Structure 1
Amino acid sequence: MSDARPGANRQELNPDPDRGQIQDFDPPFEIVESAALAGPLLFNSPHSGAIYPEAFLRLSQLDVATLRRSEDSFVDELFAGVVAQGYPMMRAHFPRCFVDVNREPYELDPRMFEGRLPSFANTRSMRVAGGLGTVARVVGDAQEIYGRRIPVDAALARIESLYKPYHRALRRLFSKLHRDFGYAILIDCHSMPSTAGQRDERPRPEFVIGDRYGTSCTGAVTEVIEQTLRELGYTVSRNKPYAGGFITEHYGNPAAGLHAVQLEINRALYMDEQRHKRTAGFERLCEDIGKLANCVGEIPPGELQPYRAAAE
């Protein structure tokens, strides 16, 4: 196991606690890998972090149980077995509601902050409007995290100390696989509530594959994932209700041999969503994820290599 703390040190991670800044992430994320690589397949779990600093909890008007509703609980554990199969995995330790690396770096809501945001901040995206920017305003069913505005410097510190190092490490690892093999696949691992909320109790599919409507990876990747999951007995949807976030969109470049896909897992498959506990389905799902990894790893290189036109 190799932990990744680019640009981070103890001094940077322990600023004034009264400002609700970063203090308890040690390390803030990690890359777990085996000695030998089986292929250019990388798994990423950006939303499974479950460390909630005391300074952050003092700023929040919500308890930890409520804050955890935005967390992709146990997803890193579900995929942990891929490392023994020869595929690296990256995972965050900081929670999504503290800073969300599956957003643009500066999707920020000016209503949340004391002080002026940088002029380049994206303050009008749909995600900001919904309260789910890089620094979230809400969790769950639009429950406000903070009872008052927080200093803009606190948000910028989270971006500089956590968001940017995370992406530098992820990009470096993905690029290394691409250099070594000539192509690479990134599977961005997430979970979703079993229903859309109190107003819509219709069950969701068990898996949602997001490939940005065919633009973030070659069709072979999506087809193998869908076929494998269906053969294992799961219900599967493509791009609805999740087509893939910032990571899928910005890391996928199939013309260059860089393939990215987002995989959303229905939480009812493996956990009690109210009690935040693993259920009996957890172990079976771990085994099936291992089978899925093997199938994706066996996609013929000719399906994944850069497009000839791009190479020319």
Structure 2
Amino acid sequence: MGVRSDYWDQPAFETIRPRRVLSPVVFNSPHSGRVYPPRFLAMTRLDHLSIRQSEDAFVDDLFGRAPHLGAPLLRAHFPRAYLDVNREPWELDPTMFAEPLSDRFNTTSPRVAAGLGTLARVVAENKPIYRERLTLDDARMRIEGIYHPYHAALQKLLGEALAGFGLAVLIDCHSMPRIGRHGERATPDIVLGDRYGTTCAAPLVDLVETIFTSAGLRVARNRPYAGGFCTRTYGRPQHGVHALQIEISRHLYMNEATLEKNAGFDSIKALLDRLVQTLIGIDLVALAGHGAIVEREAAE
């Protein structure tokens, strides 16, 4: 007998569409979900704050102006500790399950070894999530019922952009723990991941970097985050689909211990509003040709 969906009475994710699509840019926030099903909370040994340590908290809010400005936003409501759609669909840790896993599952990836597979074993600081082992029915419920529909929604958005504009640009939106200790120099505030130049046109990455550096932020590329499953899977510039992962250091906009917005939130949101506006104003012909990227004059 299968397991009833933990989100049977509410959406697990949503696509927020603009009234009029003005751009081929698609924003994706797969890790900002903060709706914790009661059954899942009953399964975890962690308190309500500890279980949230894997969240990209408020990232969907930070990019929330995108639909108002002309680009769709796909965002998860399910938390990353429950299901990670930035993984292969069946990256599972065999120690987490009561039944043995067959060869069809990817049980040996570095992410599984770290406890961060499609169904995570741990949250930040290597804290185990579950009291007891899971059933494969539970995994199937999450992956077949939520993971696959999520990616179908993302593929639909990218396909619509490609059909409507001749290209598509995926901006995969994330946050990261502060890298390095307080006072260390040259630790990045932003990490841009394009899988070492393979998933996104270089002028687009250059433009995004310039927006952040002009605001006084330190930007790194591909280290320590080169782009996850979504960036790697959907970024195919040779086929007109570009993908760029953006990691924002959480200390810039929130208290990492209490998960509360801090005094920097509004300024970071304003900067990301500017980023979104700039991306929506990209010259599409220049981008498709990998030439210099310029902003279109705003249409009245």
Q: In structure 1, what is the equivalent of residue 277 of structure 2?
A: 294
Against the structure 1 CA distance between its residues 57 and 124, is the aligned structure 2 distance closer, same or farther, given a 3 Å change threshold? same
Question: Does structure 1 residue 269 correspond to structure 2 residue 259?
Answer: no
* 1:33-182 equivalence runs, <5 A: 33-182=17-166
Task: Tell me the distance in 2 between the aligned counterparts of 1:275 and 1:24.
Answer: 30
Higher mean C-alpha deviation, range 292-301 or range 107-116: 292-301
Question: Does structure 1 residue 252 correspond to structure 2 residue 235?
Answer: yes
Task: Tell me the distance in 2 between the aligned counterparts of 1:301 and 1:88.
Answer: 17
CA-to-aligned-CA distance 1:204-257 (integer Å, 9 cap, x gap): 411100000000111111111001111122110100110000000001000011
Checking the alignment, whether the CA contact within 8 Å between 1:81 and 1:286 is kept in structure 2 is no
Q: In structure 2, what is the equivalent of residue 22 of structure 1?
A: 6
Give me the identity figure in percent: 44
Checking the alignment, whether the CA contact within 8 Å between 2:179 and 2:188 is kept in structure 1 is no
Checking the alignment, whether the CA contact within 8 Å between 1:25 and 1:51 is kept in structure 2 is no
Q: In structure 1, what is the equivalent of residue 199 of structure 2?
A: 216
Amino acid at match of 1:49: G
Checking the alignment, whether the CA contact within 8 Å between 1:107 and 1:125 is kept in structure 2 is yes
Q: In structure 2, what is the equivalent of residue 193 of structure 1?
A: 177
Query: How many aligned residue pairs are there?
Result: 288
Normalised to the residue count of structure 1, the TM-score between the two structures is: 0.88
Q: In structure 2, what is the equivalent of residue 205 of structure 1?
A: 188
Checking the alignment, whether the CA contact within 8 Å between 2:43 and 2:130 is kept in structure 1 is yes
SS in 2 for 1:243: coil
Against the structure 1 CA distance between its residues 25 and 108, is the aligned structure 2 distance closer, same or farther, given a 3 Å change threshold? farther
CA-to-aligned-CA distance 1:144-183 (integer Å, 9 cap, x gap): 1112211121112110111000000110111101110000
CA-to-aligned-CA distance 1:262-308 (integer Å, 9 cap, x gap): 0000001100111111111111111111111222233322343278x
CA-to-aligned-CA distance 1:15-37 (integer Å, 9 cap, x gap): 2xxxxx62466111111122112
> How big is the alpha-carbon RMSD for the aligned residues of Structure 1 and Structure 2?
1.9
Amino acid at match of 2:156: R
SS in 2 for 1:70: coil
Structure 1 residue ranges, 4+ long, deviating more than 3 angstroms after superposition:
200-204
Against the structure 1 CA distance between its residues 42 and 145, is the aligned structure 2 distance closer, same or farther, given a 3 Å change threshold? same
Task: Tell me the distance in 2 between the aligned counterparts of 1:201 and 1:154.
Answer: 44
Higher mean C-alpha deviation, range 31-40 or range 66-75: 31-40
CA offset at residue 57 of structure 1?
Answer: 1.0
Checking the alignment, whether the CA contact within 8 Å between 1:106 and 1:134 is kept in structure 2 is yes
Amino acid at match of 1:279: N
CA offset at residue 84 of structure 1?
Answer: 1.2
Unaligned runs of at least 5 residues, structure 1: 1-11, 16-20, 308-312
Higher mean C-alpha deviation, range 122-131 or range 204-213: 204-213
SS in 2 for 1:31: strand
Unaligned runs of at least 5 residues, structure 2: 291-300
CA offset at residue 195 of structure 1?
Answer: 3.4
SS in 2 for 1:265: strand
SS in 2 for 1:223: helix
SS in 2 for 1:230: helix
Q: In structure 2, what is the equivalent of residue 229 of structure 1?
A: 212
CA offset at residue 202 of structure 1?
Answer: 5.1
CA-to-aligned-CA distance 1:41-80 (integer Å, 9 cap, x gap): 1110000000111111111111120010000000000000
Checking the alignment, whether the CA contact within 8 Å between 1:24 and 1:51 is kept in structure 2 is no
